[in-house]
Amino acid sequence: MSSLTFQFSSYWLLVCALSGLLYAFVLYYRERHFTESGKNPKWWIYALAFVRAGVVFFIAALLLSPLLKLVNHEIEKPIILLAQDNSASIRMHFKQQDSVAYTNNLNKLRDALSKNYDVKTYLVGSKVREGSQPDYRDGSTNFSDFFEQVQNLYSNQNLGAIILSSDGVYNEGSNPVYSAGEKMAPVYTIALGDTTVKRDLLISKMYFNSVAYLGNNFSVRADVQAQNCKGEVIKLQVFRVEENINRLLQEQSFNAQSDYFVKSAEFIFAADRPGIIHYRFVLNQLSDEVTFGNNSTDVFVEVLEVKERVLLLANAPHPDIAALKQAIESNKNYECDIVYAQGNNVDVKDYSLIILHQLPSAVQTAQGIIAAAIAQKKSMLFIVGAQTSISLFNSSQDALKINGGNNSLGEATATPENDFTLFNLSINAMQALQVFPPLKIPFGDYRPAPSTVVLAFQKIGNIETKYPLISFYQSLDSKIGIISGEGIWRWRNYDFLQHKTDDVFNEIITRTVQYLSVKPDKKQFRVSPENRSRSGNERMFGESETVVFNAELYNDTYEPVNLPDVKLVVRDEKGKEFNYVMNRNGTGYTLIAGSFSSGNYSYNASVIFNNKSFTEKGEFMVNPLQLENSQTRADHHLLNLLSSKSGGKLFYPNQIDELIKLIQIQESIKPVIYTTQKTESLINLKWIFFLLAGLLCVEWFVRKYNGGY
pLDDT digits (tens, 9 = 90+) for 306-359: 678 899 999 999 999 999 999 998 877 788 999 999 888 888 988 989 999 999
pLDDT digits (tens, 9 = 90+) for 214-244: 777 888 889 998 888 888 899 999 999 887 7
Residue 38 scores a pLDDT above 70: no
Per-residue pLDDT band at 88 (split at 50, 70, 90) = confident
- Complete domains list, the chain, with CATH: 2-72+678-705 (no CATH), 78-196+633-670 (3.40.50.410), 200-304 (2.60.40.10), 309-517 (3.40.50.880), 525-622 (2.60.40.10)
Q: SS3 for 483?
A: strand
Hey, how many other C-beta atoms are within 10 angstroms of the C-beta on 13? 16
Per-residue pLDDT band at 535 (split at 50, 70, 90) = very low
Does 418 or 556 have the greater pLDDT score? 418
Instruction: State the amino acid at position 66 in one-letter form.
Output: P
Q: SS3 for 59?
A: helix
Answer for the pair 341, 363: CB distance below 8 angstroms, yes or no.
Answer: no
Per-residue pLDDT band at 626 (split at 50, 70, 90) = low
Answer for the pair 440, 411: CB distance below 8 angstroms, yes or no.
Answer: yes
User: Counting beta carbons within 10 angstroms of the beta carbon of residue 17, is it exposed (0 to 12), middle (13 to 18) or buried (19 or more)?
Assistant: middle
**Non-local CB neighbours of 433 within 8 Å, separated by 6+ positions:** 414, 416, 456, 508
Q: Give helix then strand counts, H and E, for the chain.
A: 15, 38
pLDDT digits (tens, 9 = 90+) for 375-413: 988 999 999 999 999 999 999 998 999 987 777 889 999
pTM of the model: 0.49
Answer for the pair 339, 324: CB distance below 8 angstroms, yes or no.
Answer: no
Given this model, what pLDDT does residue 393 score? 93
Answer for the pair 665, 7: CB distance below 8 angstroms, yes or no.
Answer: no
Kindly provide the residue ranges of all beta strands, DSSP E only, lying in 173-307, ordered along the sequence.
Answer: 187-191, 200-207, 211-213, 217-227, 233-242, 245-255, 260-270, 275-283, 296-304
Answer for the pair 384, 442: CB distance below 8 angstroms, yes or no.
Answer: yes
Partnered with residue 541 across adjacent β-strands are: 622
Distance CA 558, CA 154 (A): 51
Q: How far is CA 655 from CA 127, 644, 649, 658, in A?
A: 28, 17, 12, 5
Given this model, what pLDDT does residue 1 score? 58
Average pLDDT of the residues in 59-72: 77
